[in-house]
Amino acid sequence: MTSAARPAALSQAPARLMPWRRQPPVYSPVAVTTVLHGLRAAVAPGAAREYRVALTARLRERFGAAAVLLTDSGTGALTAALRVVLRERPGAAAALPAFGCYDLATAADGAGARVLLYDVDPHSLTPDGESLRAALQRNVAVVVAAHLYGYPADLTAVNRLAAEAGAVVIEDAAQAAGATLGARPAGSQASLSVLSFGRGKGWSGGGGGALLAFDPLGVAVLERARALLAAPRRGGRELLALGAQWLLARPQLYALPAALPFLRLGQTVYRSPQPLRAAARATCAATAAGWTLAEREVEVRRRHAERLLMELRRQPEFEAIQSDASGRPGYLRLPVLPSPAARQAVARDGAARLGVMPSYPRALCDLEGFAPRCDNRDGQFHGSRLLAERLCTFPTHGRLSRRDMAELVAWIQAIGGR
């Protein structure tokens, strides 16, 4: 396609879509049977116990964990772990990535943590070693390292630096979504790891999360965290979320919830800390029942991501994120660094209808209300601020049809030809 033809293709792409059709930027597969399993657990305590045991066993086997704690959210799991570790080291700080989900800030707030940020490499989404080393020199008790958008980060260097500083590593695998490093799943490299089963995490129970422990230190932290959790709820709210997800998270209907401003879909929102609870009955059941669907979805996302990457790599206006040589992404979404001009087009050319969305709009050091908690908030954090300014994501999920993929490829070609 010539450069003259590409803008024309862009102008035609939205017209070929049905006017009400809107692509979810991310999707976790849910079946009617998933909701029914959740309903059964909500009304039958005996069944709920069986699902909880089954999910715990599956997580132990999949990740090789020594212990598992099921929580009401991934944020709750991280909050509890931070609270326990920091109680053992009064006055010490938690080291967090300066770019990531705002739930990292929520967890730090919930734990009452003093925070030191470290930068993120904008080309690989992995921790910047020099920046982390500098943070660890300032009395850090715990390091949180995150896998973003299903891209696995090798934590070998992080574990070494943390060990030298006497700090515990918590692996935030909430977005790992099937990613692997060698033969191991992302989420199994540190003393502790956090999982999430929320709506946009690839494996959904309508909510919920887990804290996994892998060594004696991690197990000790996990058992103390267990004592912080209130009793589980039945999970009516989670069941409603699952039902809505099953019905509305499809291109023909997604425009309806996306148009409701109070739902704030597609927006990055800071949420206040919530009381810590064990995972709801319905959540455990639905998460356990959705395992096979989530596993199948990983391969679909990989196929779609490879097709989009093939086109993106031809276009100088886009830079694909580098994956670790030993890793295999799960592509929860496909993150890309566009040029400044192409990044403007993400907001200008109806890209949201195709599921192309900006990433987190602020680095954590610039997040209003959270910055005062960060002792080094005045640091440069060039990589994290660049990501906040330019990173965008493409959808990869199983709701994309061949026609949808063709629309995305045409959009990439049109932007690349400008």
Q: Which pLDDT tens digit goes with each residue over 332-353? A: 999 999 999 999 888 876 798 9
Is 32-240+269-290 a CATH 3.40.640.10 domain?
yes
Model confidence pLDDT, tens digit, residues 351-394: 989 999 999 999 999 998 898 899 999 999 999 999 999 999 99
- Residue 32 makes CB contacts below 8 A (sequence gap 6+) with 246
How, if at all, do strands 357-358 and 327-328 pair? unpaired
Alpha carbon distance 222, 180 (integer Å)? 24
Beta bridge partners, 127, equal: 120
pLDDT at site 93: 98
| Residue ranges, the chain, pLDDT below 70 | 1-19, 257, 259-268, 349, 418
Query: Which residue's structure tokens are 């009617």?
Result: 32
Q: What is the pLDDT of residue 8?
A: 38
What architecture is domain 5-28+292-416? Alpha-Beta Complex (3.90)
The identity of residue 206, as a single letter, is G
Running DSSP on this structure, what letter comes out for residue 364? G
Domain locations in the chain as residue ranges: 5-28+292-416, 32-240+269-290
Q: Which residues pair with 145 in a beta bridge?
A: 171
Of residues 194, 250, 185, the one with CA closest to residue 222: 194
Residue 110 sits at the vertex; the CA angle it makes with 278 and 134, to the nearest 5 degrees, is 120
Positions of E strands within 248-338:
318-320, 327-328, 334-338
Structure confidence at residue 368 (pLDDT): 87
How many angstroms separate the CA atoms of 410 and 41, rounded? 46
pTM of the full structure:
0.92
Specify which residues 151 forms β-bridges with: 148
Q: Return the pLDDT at 199.
A: 86
Report the half-sphere exposure of 54 (CA within 13 A, side-chain side): 18
User: Which tokens is 222 given?
Assistant: 């996990």
The set of long-range contacts for 42-49, using a CB threshold of 8 Å and a minimum separation of 24, is: 42/234, 42/235, 42/236, 42/239, 42/280, 42/281, 42/282, 42/285, 43/234, 45/281, 47/285, 48/281, 48/284, 48/285
User: pLDDT value at position 68?
Assistant: 98
Q: Write down the pLDDT at residue 347.
A: 80
